[in-house]
Amino acid sequence: MPIEIRDPSAVLQLVYIDDVVAAIERELESSNGPGGFSFAEATPVYETSVGAVADSIREIHDGRLSGLIPDLSNDLVRKLASTYLSYLDMENISIPAVMRRDERGWLFELVKSSMGGQIFVSTTKPGKKRGNHYHDSKVEKFCVVKGKARISLKRINDGKRVEYNVDGEEVRIVDIPPGYTHSIENIGNQDCVTIFWANEIFDSSHSDTYSCEV
């Protein structure tokens, strides 16, 4: 629904409902209160404005549709995001993933964060390979959760190689440092499912991704 704001600068003091409940619980459990009545102070109290809250709600709403999560290191934003989700209709809590498919399998972005990079998930068909590129600054983590794969890395400056055979039955997390060309190849007989994390959101105009065979 549209938000109508007469005075965006109007000051608000907000307290999160769970913090209110926690304050009441502390008083109920305390034996120091006088005669069955006590004032309970709920903290923290967030000093903000009507306009700032509206902007946060819009950001949470729009970001959810694109997989972008807000800055959860901001305590107020984190609590606003939880409150926003609690008001969604049950029919609207599912969002279809944008699937990118080719002869290797499929891939989709799960979540993106300006503070924490992004997570994406892929399948790789038997005998197929992904990667064969390196990054100057970007770092990644590879985690095969189903199937068998070989993760190969080669250091660009001296050609030193290392390989890890990984299996979804015994999950390992492999760091991909900058300056290492890398690939992941399905060496099993079923689709391989991999979870990837990158420390930055992919930007096609500055991808920091350079083709190079391992």
Phi, psi of 23 (to 5 degrees): -65, -40
pLDDT at residue 14, rounded to an integer: 97
Location of each CATH 2.60.120.10 domain in the chain: 100-211
Distance of alpha carbon 138 from alpha carbon 42, whole angstroms: 42
Which residues in the chain are classed under CATH 3.40.50.720?
A: 11-92
Asked whether 166 and 174 are in contact (CB, 8 A), the reply is yes
Q: In what order do the strands lie in the sheet with 192-198?
A: 100-102, 105-113, 117-124, 192-198, 140-146, 173-176
- Report the CATH fold assignment for 11-92: Rossmann fold (3.40.50)
CA gap 37, 27 in Å, rounded? 9
* Overall fold of domain 100-211: Jelly Rolls (2.60.120)
Q: d(Cα 78, Cα 70) in Å, to the nearest integer?
A: 8
pTM of the entire structure? Answer: 0.86
pLDDT score of 32 = 63
Q: b/e string for 5-36 if b means 16 or more Cβ within 10 A?
A: eeeeeeeeeeebeeeeeebeeeeeeeeeeeee
Tell me, what's the pLDDT at 1?
77
∠85-89-92 over CA atoms, to 5°?
A: 85
Q: What is the pLDDT of residue 2?
A: 82
65 phi/psi in degrees, rounded to 5 = -70, -25
pLDDT of 17: 96
What stretches in the chain show pLDDT beneath 50?
none
Cα distances from 9 to residues 51, 59, 62, 86, 126, in angstroms, run: 6, 18, 22, 26, 58
Per-residue b or e along 167-191, where b marks 16 or more CB atoms closer than 10 Å to that residue's CB: bbeeeeebebeeebbbbbbbbbeeb
At 31 the pLDDT is 63
